[in-house]
Amino acid sequence: MASTQDFTKVMQDMFTAFPTDMNGMQDAFRNSAAFGEKMTKVMLEAVEKSNEISNKWTKDTLGKFGTVVAVKEEPTEYTKAVTDFASAQAESTAETMAAFAEVAKKMQMETVELMMAAGKDMSEDATAAVKKATADVTTAAKKVAAAAK
C-alpha cells in the first residue's frame, strides 16, 4: 500500500533556507486590506447615491403617469396628457442622466486619488525594502569575508 509523503519537514527546511520578513508580509496584507476597504467605501457610496437617484426618478415618473391615465372629458385631452408626460419624461431623463454622470465622475476621481496614493505608498515600501535588503546582504557579505580570513 502506498503512503502519502509528509512534506512538513521539507516545507520547514525550505522556509528556513529562504528567510522572509514576516513583518513586511503582514504590513503588505494590512495595506492591501486598507486599500480594499477604501475602494469598497467609494463603491458603496456610489451605489447608494445611484440608488437614491433611481428611486427618485421612478417616483417622479409614477407620479406624473397618474395624469396620463386619468379619465378625460375630451379626446384631445388624452393627447395633451401624453404629450405633456413625454415632454416631462424627456426633461427628467436628461436631469437623471446628468446626476448619474456626476456620481460616476466623483467615483472616478476618488478611485484615481486612491490609486495614486497606493502607488506612492508601494513605491516608498519598495524603496525601504530594497534598502533593507541591501543592508542585510552587505552585512552577510562582511561576515562571510571576515570568516574567510
How many distinct structural domains can be found in the chain? 1
- 41: in domain: no
Q: Hey, how many other C-beta atoms are within 10 angstroms of the C-beta on 73?
A: 6
The confidence band for 94, taking pLDDT boundaries of 50, 70 and 90, is very high
Domain that holds residue 106: 53-125
Asked whether residue 32 is domain-assigned, the answer is no
Report the pLDDT averaged over residues 122-138. Answer: 78
5: in domain: no
Q: Collapse the DSSP code of 142 into the 3-class scheme (helix H, G, I; strand E, B; otherwise coil) and give the result.
A: helix
Mean pLDDT of the chain: 86
Tens of pLDDT, residues 67-77: 888 999 998 99
Q: Is residue 80 part of a domain?
A: yes
Give the model's pLDDT for residue 20. 67
SS3 content of the chain, % helix, strand, coil (to 5): 90, 0, 10
Residue 92 confidence (pLDDT) above 60:
yes
Instruction: Read off φ and ψ for residue 71, nearest 5 degrees.
Output: -70, 135
Give 4-62 pLDDT, tens digit per residue.
Answer: 778 787 777 776 766 666 777 787 788 889 999 999 999 999 999 999 999 999 999 99
CB 111 within 8 A of CB 42: yes
Contacts of 85 (CB under 8 A, 6+ apart): 64, 65, 67, 68
**Residue 86, Cα to own-chain centre: how many angstroms?**
38
Residue 87: inside a domain: yes
User: Residue 136: inside a domain, yes or no?
Assistant: no
Flag whether 130 is in a domain.
no
Q: How far is Cα 88 from Cα 6, in angstroms, rounded to an integer?
A: 73
pLDDT of 1 higher than 60 = no
